[in-house]
Amino acid sequence: MIPSTKTYFLLFLGIILGTGFAHVLTINSSIAITAGFDFVVLALAVIDRFRSQSHRVQVERLPLGKLSIGRDNSVHLIVNSGIDLSKEKNPSKSISNKLTSKSNLSKKLDRATHLAQSSPKPTTKPTQIKIYDHYPWEFTTDLQKQPKLPLEALIDDNSSIELSYHVYPQHRGEFKWGNLQVRQLGRWGLAWDSWTVQASTPVRVYPDLIGLRQLTVKLTTENSSNRKRSQRLGMGTEFSELREYRAGDDPRLIDWKATARKVNTLQPLQVRVLEPEQEQTLIILLDRGRLMTSQVQGLARFDWGLNAALALALTGLHRGDRVGIGVFDRKMHTWLPPERGQNQISRLVESLTPIQPELLEPDYMGAVTHLVQHQSRRALIVVITDIIDSTASGELLAALTRLTPRYLPFCVTLRDPEVDRQAQALTPDLRSAYIRAVALDLMVQRNVAFARLKQQGVLVLDAPVSQISEQLIDRYLQLKARNLL
């Protein structure tokens, strides 16, 4: 039993009454009155707690599914109070087994609402409950966007409500989700009935699956419009079809032989429709070495790179390209050969999720050698890593230069926005001036390294970690549109 605030107030009131009676009666009499009053209050609190056990609410947590790193993941709890579920076909099944999707959740809540409306109106006040969900301690919650745990609610008899909050995982891997701790205030408001709902379950945190789902919807809706636009502008290298000439078409695309084959010379001119070449090859080399272990905006730099690599892979697969990924440090840790089809993205996610960065110096030349041995055809090679200066990144420069004759190398680096902020900050004292000077020097050294890469024909993208996925996808689509590969 956990006494409520009301109980503590009554106990304190008993002490005040005893003090008042001490001026009228004897001290022993006032103590006896105080003890008797407090005893009655505590006895009523115990009775209130045991009475609440007979009408405990039912609390279930919906299946958690796959969580995404660096995202607000929703957690939904269902609370039932006095709803008779005996008419269900399988009453032995728990609510969580039946509420496996949002549509089922809506149906269940509609049924609970119907039962509540069809039942007599409650004559008692709503029941107050508090629920604490023991999510993994490695997760965080955004208290500015949601109620603070424990979740508090009022629920009427014969009703059902949904409570939700969000968790923000900052690490990938396997975690254990704890049980639910429920407190229910008695009808008299004197004591809390506390019990544990066994809901412990393992949970796995993946890369940014929420972002991938959003990107999938975006790519699906844009595919048809982009295809029509590219056909209208004559962009691409592969022949698609012939159609009639329209105002604004490129005259160079007129097929004079096809037009001459028309029996009636009054027929419109025929234009060749070209589309971007399909089944090109995209290979992503993701560095998991020392520089990728640093934390940037709450996540490891490697996690930002992994999210960008998967987003780029998904885009390439939607464009019909063959996509492969290699993860390396001192050696090629994981190699997934280029394949086509939407099943490839599932294989990439499952294979790359367990990988963590290591405090090892990456062997860029070894990774490039492994790539050359397994990929003989021309391909777009995207290397996701980080650069300090031209001296420390000399091996990276040499490795990418080796790719330029046969492949199209593309170096992608993840910039820390804090360095940009420090480089632009005001310097009111000596310490801030020193910090700004270091930040400016880092930026200059990076730019020198990028200039050397560009001189060797290497494409370069340096973007803040929070924008790397969007800018990388945009650059890839530009390369496809310009047929550089």
Beta strands in 125-158 (DSSP E): 127-133, 151-155
Residues 6+ apart with CB under 8 A from 270: 242, 243, 244, 245, 254, 255, 258, 259, 262
- Angle at which helix 430-455 crosses helix 417-424, to 10 degrees, equals 120
Q: What pLDDT does residue 161 have?
A: 93
Q: How many Cα atoms within 13 Å fall on the side-chain side of residue 73?
A: 24
353: which 2 tokens?
């999720």
Domain limits of the chain?
2-53, 58-206, 238-275, 281-481
Residue-level length of the chain: 485
CA-to-CA dists, residue 189 to 131, 170, 214, 397, angstroms: 17, 40, 47, 72
CA separation for the pair 64, 281 (Å, rounded): 36
Q: What is the mean pLDDT of residues 156-183?
A: 93
In the numeric block, which tokens belong to residue 324? 């492969």
- Asked whether 362 and 393 are in contact (CB, 8 A), the reply is no
Q: Which of residues 153 and 254 earns the better pLDDT score?
A: 153
Which among 93, 57, 64, 92 has a CA at the least distance from the CA of 78?
57
Please state, as a whole number, how many other Cβ atoms lie within 10 Å of the Cβ of residue 183. Answer: 18
Provide mean pLDDT across the span 276-283: 78
Using alpha carbons, list the distances in angstroms from residue 430 to 393, 426, 434. Answer: 31, 11, 6
pLDDT (mean) for 203-226: 85
Give yes or no for residue 237 having a pLDDT over 60: no
Residue 210 has pLDDT above 80, yes or no: yes
Nearest one of 444, 458, 345, 446 to 393, comparing CA atoms: 446
pLDDT interval class at 236 (50, 70, 90) = low
pLDDT per residue as tens digits for the range 251-277: 777 777 777 776 555 667 777 776 655
The CATH number given to 58-206 is 2.60.40.10
Residue type, 57: V
β-strands 151-155, 127-133: how paired?
Answer: antiparallel
Side chain identity, residue 211 = G
Query: pLDDT-derived band of residue 94, with 50, 70 and 90 as boundaries?
Result: very low
Q: What does CATH list as the number for 281-481?
A: 3.40.50.410
Distance CA(191)–CA(201), nearest Å, equals 30
Those residues with Cβ within 8 angstroms of residue 30's Cβ, 6 or more apart along the chain or in another chain: 18, 19, 21, 22
88 pLDDT higher than 70? no
Would you state the pLDDT for residue 274?
Answer: 67
**Could you tell me where the DSSP H helices lie in 57-186?**
95-98, 102-118
Q: Is the dihedral of CA 433, 439, 443, 448 positive or negative?
A: positive
**Per-residue model confidence as pLDDT tens digits over 103-150:** 555 555 455 455 445 545 555 678 999 999 999 988 987 644 555 678
Neighbours of 128 (CB within 10 A): 16
Map residue 203 onto helix, strand or coil: strand
Tell me which range, 100-114, 171-185, 225-239, is most confidently predicted by mean pLDDT.
171-185
Rg, C-alpha atoms of the chain: 33
Which residues lie below 8 Å from residue 136, measured CB to CB, with a gap of 6+?
Answer: 169, 175, 176, 177, 178, 203
In the chain, % of residues over pLDDT 90: 57
> In the 8-state DSSP scheme, what is residue 373?
H
Contact between residue 324 and residue 364 where contact means Cβ atoms under 8 Å apart: no
Check pLDDT > 90 for residue 421: yes
Q: Is the pLDDT of residue 176 over 90?
A: yes
Q: Mean pLDDT across the chain, nearest whole number?
A: 84
Could you give the 3-state DSSP secondary structure of residue 248?
Answer: coil
- pTM beyond 0.85, yes or no: no
Average of pLDDT values for 443-471?
93
Residue of 236 and 242 predicted with greater confidence? 242
Rounded CA separation 292/295 (Å) = 8
What does the block give as tokens for 286? 């993701």
Q: What are the tokens at 167?
A: 């968790």
pLDDT 10s digits, 288-346: 999 999 999 999 999 999 999 999 999 999 988 999 999 999 999 999 999 999 899 99
pLDDT digits (tens, 9 = 90+) for 36-49: 888 999 999 999 99
- What pLDDT, on the 0 to 100 scale, is given for residue 385? 96
Tokens read off for 361: 């110096």
CA dist 161 and 211 (Å) reads: 29
| C-alpha distances out from residue 287 to 102, 166, 325, 467, Å | 38, 31, 11, 18
Report the relative pairing of strands 191-197 and 151-155 from DSSP bridges: unpaired
Measure CA of the first residue to CA of the last residue in the chain; give whole Å: 71
Model pLDDT for residues 440-450, shown as the tens digit of each residue: 999 999 999 99
Q: Which H or E run includes 347?
A: helix 343-352
Grade residue 170 by pLDDT with cuts at 50, 70 and 90: very high
| Residue-level pLDDT at 155 | 92
Residue 359's identity, in one-letter code, is L
> What does the alpha-carbon distance between residue 475 and residue 472 come to, in Å, rounded to a whole number?
5
User: Token match 């080796």: residue?
Assistant: 402
Q: For residues 269 and 251, give the distance between their C-alpha atoms in angstroms, rounded to a whole number.
A: 10
pLDDT number for residue 86: 41
- What's the CA gap between 139 and 203, in Å, rounded? 12
